[in-house]
């Protein structure tokens, strides 16, 4: 590998290497970072969701509705699990009402997700 060392004040300060060598180094660093990310996930795997759920949310479906349907719950079933009404769940999904902190925590628990994932911001 050819390289050029640039000094400042008599001490090495910079190294100039061919661009292809830099690209190889950069790819290696990215591969190592990806590997570390995968290892961390495998040590403590979090739940993942099917593409259809993520796509629905990205396409505008309220997260509460997408996750409720993913879990196979009706509005009435989710309402019962959270001690609220199906009308309230419908209103939250349509965006005409917001869930308070207590209800948001119950919804998250019933759906097995963090309450923050249900916000439609």
Task: Give the CATH number, domain containing residue 58.
Answer: 1.10.260.40
Whether residues 39 and 71 share a domain: the answer is no
- Mind spelling out the 3-state secondary structure of 25-84? HHHHHHHHHHHHHHHHHHHCCCCCCCHHHHHHHHCCCCHHHHHHHHCCCCHHHHHHHCCC
List, for residues 1-52, the tens digit of each pLDDT value: 789 999 999 999 999 999 999 999 999 999 999 999 999 888 987 778 899 9
Q: Residue 104's domain spans which residues? A: 51-118
Q: Let me know whether 39 and 58 are in one domain.
A: no
Q: Hey, how many other C-beta atoms are within 10 angstroms of the C-beta on 108?
A: 19
**pLDDT value of residue 49:** 87
User: CA–CA separation, 36 vs 71, rounded Å?
Assistant: 31
90 and 35, same structural domain? no
- Supply the pLDDT for residue 119: 82
3-state DSSP assignment of residue 4: strand
| 65 and 110 assigned to the same domain | yes
Number of separate domains in the chain: 2
Rounded to an integer, the average pLDDT of 69-76 is 96
CB 104 within 8 A of CB 88: no
What whole-number percentage of the chain has pLDDT above 70? 99
Weakest mean pLDDT among 31-35, 85-89, 112-116: 112-116
Q: Are residues 18 and 68 in the same domain?
A: no
What does pTM read for this prediction?
A: 0.63
C-alpha separations of 41 from 32, 36, 69 in Å: 14, 9, 26
State how far the Cα of 45 lies from the Cα of 106, in Å rounded to an integer.
23
Domain match, 65 and 83 both: yes
| 62 and 14 part of one domain | no
């Amino acid at each position: 590998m050819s390289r050029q060392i640039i000094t400042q004040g008599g001490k090495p300060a910079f190294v100039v290497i061919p661009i292809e060598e830099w690209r190889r180094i950069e790819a290696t660093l990215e591969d190592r970072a990806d590997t570390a990310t995968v290892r961390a996930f495998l040590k403590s795997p979090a739940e993942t969701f099917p593409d259809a759920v993520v796509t629905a949310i990205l396409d505008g479906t309220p997260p509460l509705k997408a996750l409720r349907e993913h879990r196979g719950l009706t509005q009435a079933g989710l309402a019962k699990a959270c001690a609220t009404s199906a009308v309230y769940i419908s209103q939250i999904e349509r965006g005409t009402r917001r869930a308070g902190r207590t209800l948001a925590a119950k919804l998250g628990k019933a759906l097995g997700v963090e309450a923050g994932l249900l916000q439609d911001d």
